[in-house]
Structure 1
Amino acid sequence: MIKNFEEYQNFTSLLKKMAYHYYVLDDPIATDEEYDTLYHQIKTYEEKNPGQIIPSSPTQRVGNGVLESFKKHKHLERMWSLDDIFDSQKLQEWINRIYKTYPKANFTCSPKFDGVSLNLYYDKGILQTATTRGDGIEGELVTPQAKTIPSIPLEIPYQKGIEIRGEVVITREDFEKINQERIQSKQNLFANPRNAAAGSLRQLDPKITAERKLKFIPWGLGKNDIKEGSFFKTINQILQYGFYPTPFVTFCPDIHTIQKLHDELVRMRHTYPIMLDGMVIMIDNIAAQKQMGFTIKSPRFACAYKFPAIEKSSKILSITLQVGRTGVITPVAELEPVEIEGATISRATLHNYSEIEKKDIKIKDTVIIIRSGDVIPKIIKPITSLRDGTQIDIIKPTQCPVCGSELLIEEIFIRCQNLSCKARVKESIIYFASKKALNIDGLGEKIVEQLFENKIISNILDLYSLDLEELLKLEGWQEKKAQNLLQSVKNTQNIQLWRLLNALGIEHIGEGASKKLAANFGLDIFKKTHDDIVALDGFGKEMAASVIDFGIVNKILIDKLFTIISPQAPQTTNVNMTIFTDKTIVLTGTLSKPRDQIASLLESLGAKITSNVSKNTDFIVYGINAGSKLDKANALKIKTLNEEELNKMLKDENIIF
């Protein structure tokens, strides 16, 4: 028995060491019996002395409570998506872009595991929260579940606040064991190790999570105070804090070592215990990472070098036509089921009829299918040598499969132009109400279908005239359910403008683009010209055309929604006019401070920051290795400012930066 607190401390440290060697290093230093005996001695002492419990004690990994639901939690720093590259040519192009600014750049490469991303936040050395990736801005709070994973230390020696990010994974062997147990208990099987990891982490009862052999493998950092140094050295230092030792993390001085590591991982991907789907490449210098910053969607300093997609063959049984919310008809091949990387594939997109003609694909063809990670399976080509005369041509439809109206046959796309088409309207409403859009709780796909079939709604605007009595007449509806839905719809009033823009489902315009449009144009977004929009950082001609066309076609709908919802445009922080007010500015080259910081300051002073130099540009602020943008600005006789000149202008405005 443990006699006093000092003895309890010593025994707890010993138990933590035993657990680390057993669960993380797979190198036991004690027998199971010795571990269990010490564990129960410590637990007995803690039950008698609850005020003396050490938070990082192994007994504290599994809580007693069962959650009712998962709460949403914001990341301190966004979890960005990575741009993908798929071959050595794209790798060379990406490296060359880096070398333009950092000609002596080195890189850190690490495997990209096929699991569930998790963000851990530590403060004063103690694990405070664990949050799933979610939409990158916020995810689900799964701290009790994460604490059950032995390779997530409850306490680390680093005392400042820090977000440590990684992947929750499960080995192929443990995945098979879980599915065998589920067969015995007549439960649905997990499709693959990634699904098993996700399902295990998202158990409302942490004790169930504890039963699964999950591992947390660190791969990066979020919010932290580390401003310079080597990322390779930093991540290796963090791994010493009690985390699972991330395999294959490699310092790569050049493209040759990067390609060599990639080829090695590709060769072993099918035999390695944990599923791999690529590797991550990033600039090693942390200060350079911060200077390069981010695009709307991804970091400029890192990318994912994906493994070649896995190919299988199957037979096309028939073609199903899907009508999207923009009216585009997408042909989908119904296939003989085939397994690829643990997932059963029975459908694959054919994209459009131009693609079908180009590849000469027919019904009853045996075709090559690829699937890479979570990418939707797609058909590469038919195996024409296996044709036996039973093949049938795939004919372009002339009428909408849902509403029967005549289709618009374009060069590539086929569209249903009927705005009242049931498929278009339903898809629009489902997206409008989804979590990524207005997040109308209680208005999922099945509810939309029910409301639509009962003629209670026929378009988005009908959501704002829902009637309690009408809802109560529907099967399965009670007053609480109906009132909750009405309140959820009401809660969308005065919502942030970018959320409404995103909810409209404008083609090519996602969350990041919606935020930029709202921040730059406010409620006047649909009054702007093509040149106004294309001048925004990260916007191209296709995106600008989508916004303009959508505004023209749906003017009545937009006006009514803006009146009903009264969306809130971002508030600008500048009160007084400055020399930068309404000026269009381009930042280029390597500056002494991160571009995002400089851009935010100038925007707060009324400026519009864009990425393209044009005749509408007022200033270009340039640093080292400014390149072609500075040349173009000089050719157009646009005023150019180096950092010293910019700082002088700021000082004249009584702003110190």
Structure 2
Amino acid sequence: MLKNLKDYQKNVALLTQMAHHYYVLDNPIATDAQYDQLYAEVLAYERAYPKDCIASSPTQRVGGAVLEGFSKHKHSERMWSLDDIFDSAELLEWVGRIYKTYPNMSFVCSPKFDGVSLNLYYENGMLISAATRGDGSIGELITQNAKTIPSIPLEIPHKEGIEIRGEVVITKDDFEKINAQRLQTGENLFANPRNAAAGSLRQLDPKITAKRKLKFIPWGIGKNTFENKSFLELMEQIAQYGFYPTPLIKHCHNIEEIQAAYEHLVSLRHTYPIMLDGMVIVLDSIPAQKSLGYTIKSPRFACAYKFPAIQKSSKILSVTNQVGRSGVITPVAELEPIEIEGAMIARATLHNYSEIQKKDIRINDTIIIVRSGDVIPKIIKPIIELRDGTQLEITKPSHCPVCHSELLIEDIFIRCQNLSCKARIKESITYFASKKALNIDGLGGKIVDQLFENGIISNILDIYAIQIESLLGLEGWRQKKAQNLIDAIKATKNIPLWRLINALGIEHIGEGASKKLALSFGLEVFEKDYDDLIAIDGFGQEMAASVIDFGIVNKDLIQKLLELITPQVSHENVRDDSFFSTKSIVLTGTLSKPREQIAALLESLGAKIISSVSKNTDLVIYGENAGSKLQKANDLHIHTITEETLREILKNEGIEL
């Protein structure tokens, strides 16, 4: 056993060096036996003298206590999504846009790993937090799990606050080993290395994460105090802090070099030990990056050059009919399982029976199936030349596969009209709780299934009768998780009326139409007649009829929800003295704020936001790359203003955008 603090500190430094060479540099400087012996000695000292324990000691990666759930964490700076390009023509266009402002700029190209994005925050050199990307602004806090990953330093020499971002991945070989172990223990298998990485990273027991061979590969930073002018130099500096060096990173001076780097990565995609799904291109000049800025959802100075979609063939074994929340029947092809980019594909949507007829798809057909990145598998066409006489036509169903009631067959869609159909009820509840509807966090499809099958909910109203005791009696539920769901349900009280209308899932009525209904009629929406509804700008016959039919059939449900939720009637707070009052406004182009945010502000000032330009449009507000809508507005001599002018008008009215 180590005898004093000085020896302990010396051996922690040596153990850390050994771990770095083994896990990060793939260049061991000690045998496994030597590492294990030194690890045991360090651990024994720490147990004997816990007050001397160094926070960044490799022994601290074993994981802490089992968690009840993950808390939310706000990133200091937003984690943006990248725009995708798919071929050399789109590359030429993307680079050309940058060259218009910054000719002769160079770029940094690196592999786009297929893993899970993670944001690490260090302060005074110590790892303070680790959070998933989430929605870009708020992710899940998984610090204890991240600390178990050997390629994430627990301490770095940089002392100012900094967010270091990267991808958590698992090698193809380690993925196979994990699945082999899960097969022996009777556990569900992971579909691909990305799923394995995500499942391992989000374990409530950090000790399980510690057993998985996860690797963190940096690809950028968020909050920082650096004054670097080169992105490549910045990435090289981060690697010196003890992180895994970003592999295959390349400095490219022109389009030809970018394309060559891309083609090299494409040639490696099947043999490289980690799954790749494209190449990230980043403008090297950091001052130029800051100047170009961002669109609503992505940086203008970076993009993802995606690999070509993988096409393979499979065979249609049968067709399953799924029932959606609106009763629409969707045919799904059951396929001979085929592996595409590490994912086993056994099903693919056929969209509708009109599509089946158009493509002449039949059971027992050999078909071409395509999947690109995370895109849902899609059947391109049948290979008619391979038909052998065993093919069977896919016939339209006449009765619902769930409740067996007779179906309504329309031109394109086939519907189950039974509002009590079990499939419709579950889908309706899931949609009711979804983000664009009432946004009940923790009530997704799987949870709805669990609550439905256990008799806790059987309709939308039952959501508001859920008791915490009922949840705690279910598998996988703990106090915190149950309380979070109860709190999320309570948070729907007094939400804007348009959200409730949208949550009902009325056919042909989406978010925009829901806002117009709430703004026009308030709580009397479902008491209005056809003439009232058809008078709303943008409402057609089908939309008006759909609202009326829904209101008649679901009168009791609507009344009870209004009593339970007491939604806010948005038009009561609408100003009528604004420049924008009563105006029909179209927003177009790239704006500095999310379009939904600007639209909501203008609606609160009495404006009506519409989607297309017509002679009835009063005003078009445009940002960069406005395109055809701005052109049409000019052709029709409709008043147009820039976003900057919008800000000035709002400022004069005492409002900040």
Q: TM-score, normalised by structure 1?
A: 0.77
- 3-state DSSP class of the match of 1:70? coil
Deviation sequence 1:576-595 (CA, Å, 0-9, x none): 988788889999999xxx93
Q: 1:240 is aligned with what amino acid?
A: Q
- 3-state DSSP class of the match of 2:336? strand
2:441 aligns with 439
CA distance in 1, matches of 2:508, 2:109: 31
Residue 358 to residue 175, structure 1, CA distance change in 2 (3 Å): same
Displacement of 1:96: 5.0
1:407 aligns with 408
CA distance in 1, matches of 2:296, 2:543: 17
- 3-state DSSP class of the match of 2:593? helix
Give the alignment of 1:503-518 within 5 angstroms. Answer: 503-504=503-504
Residue 7 to residue 271, structure 1, CA distance change in 2 (3 Å): same
CA distance in 2, matches of 1:206, 1:185: 20
1:350 aligns with 2:350: yes
Q: Is the CA contact (8 Å cut-off) linking 2:519 and 2:570 kept in structure 1?
A: no
1:238 aligns with 238
Q: Is the CA contact (8 Å cut-off) linking 1:426 and 1:449 kept in structure 2?
A: no
Residue 141 to residue 401, structure 1, CA distance change in 2 (3 Å): same
Residue 94 to residue 414, structure 1, CA distance change in 2 (3 Å): farther
Displacement of 1:332: 1.0
Q: Is the CA contact (8 Å cut-off) linking 1:434 and 1:440 kept in structure 2?
A: no
Displacement of 1:329: 1.9
1:262 aligns with 262
- Identity, in percent, stands at 59
Displacement of 1:467: 9.8
Displacement of 1:383: 2.0
1:197 aligns with 197
Q: Is the CA contact (8 Å cut-off) linking 2:468 and 2:483 kept in structure 1?
A: no
Displacement of 1:466: 7.2
CA distance in 2, matches of 1:573, 1:291: 38
Q: Is the CA contact (8 Å cut-off) linking 1:466 and 1:486 kept in structure 2?
A: no
CA distance in 1, matches of 2:216, 2:599: 41
CA distance in 2, matches of 1:602, 1:389: 57
Q: Specify every segment of 5 or more residues in structure 2 that has no aligned partner in the other structure, as ranges.
A: 526-531
1:537 aligns with none
1:538 aligns with none
CA distance in 2, matches of 1:288, 1:546: 50
CA distance in 2, matches of 1:98, 1:406: 54
1:360 aligns with 360
CA distance in 2, matches of 1:632, 1:324: 38
Give the alignment of 1:522-533 within 5 angstroms. Answer: none
Residue 613 to residue 47, structure 1, CA distance change in 2 (3 Å): farther
Q: 2:406 is aligned with what amino acid?
A: S
2:565 aligns with 565
Residue 260 to residue 575, structure 1, CA distance change in 2 (3 Å): same
Q: Is the CA contact (8 Å cut-off) linking 1:131 and 1:139 kept in structure 2?
A: yes
More displaced 10-residue stretch of structure 1: 208-217 or 305-314: 305-314
- 3-state DSSP class of the match of 2:313? strand
1:596 aligns with 593
CA distance in 2, matches of 1:59, 1:647: 55
CA distance in 2, matches of 1:227, 1:633: 44
Give the alignment of 1:278-357 within 5 angstroms. Answer: 278-286=278-286, 289=289, 298-357=298-357
2:380 aligns with 380
1:116 aligns with 2:106: no
CA distance in 2, matches of 1:548, 1:571: 20
CA distance in 1, matches of 2:137, 2:91: 28
Residue 91 to residue 131, structure 1, CA distance change in 2 (3 Å): same
Residue 45 to residue 361, structure 1, CA distance change in 2 (3 Å): same
Deviation sequence 1:181-224 (CA, Å, 0-9, x none): 44455544433322322232233332332222210112233444
- 3-state DSSP class of the match of 1:311? strand
1:494 aligns with 2:455: no
Q: 2:410 is aligned with what amino acid?
A: I
Q: Is the CA contact (8 Å cut-off) linking 2:228 and 2:234 kept in structure 1?
A: no
Residue 621 to residue 397, structure 1, CA distance change in 2 (3 Å): closer
Displacement of 1:517: 6.5
Q: Is the CA contact (8 Å cut-off) linking 1:120 and 1:129 kept in structure 2?
A: yes
Q: Is the CA contact (8 Å cut-off) linking 2:362 and 2:393 kept in structure 1?
A: yes
More displaced 10-residue stretch of structure 1: 90-99 or 247-256: 90-99
Q: Is the CA contact (8 Å cut-off) linking 1:370 and 1:380 kept in structure 2?
A: yes
Q: 1:494 is aligned with what amino acid?
A: K
Deviation sequence 1:458-511 (CA, Å, 0-9, x none): x42454467999x89x999x9x99x9799568524426548757755578999x
Alignment length, in residue pairs?
A: 631
Displacement of 1:391: 1.0
CA distance in 2, matches of 1:17, 1:485: 42
CA distance in 1, matches of 2:572, 2:9: 54
CA distance in 1, matches of 2:240, 2:524: 53
Residue 580 to residue 369, structure 1, CA distance change in 2 (3 Å): closer
Displacement of 1:427: 1.1
CA distance in 1, matches of 2:632, 2:54: 63
Displacement of 1:160: 3.5
CA distance in 2, matches of 1:208, 1:242: 24
Q: Is the CA contact (8 Å cut-off) linking 2:617 and 2:638 kept in structure 1?
A: no
Q: 1:448 is aligned with what amino acid?
A: F
Q: 1:439 is aligned with what amino acid?
A: D
Q: Is the CA contact (8 Å cut-off) linking 1:463 and 1:489 kept in structure 2?
A: no
Q: Is the CA contact (8 Å cut-off) linking 2:493 and 2:564 kept in structure 1?
A: no
Q: Specify every segment of 5 or more residues in structure 1 that has no aligned partner in the other structure, as ranges.
A: 535-540
1:427 aligns with 427
1:250 aligns with 2:250: yes
Q: Is the CA contact (8 Å cut-off) linking 2:575 and 2:581 kept in structure 1?
A: no
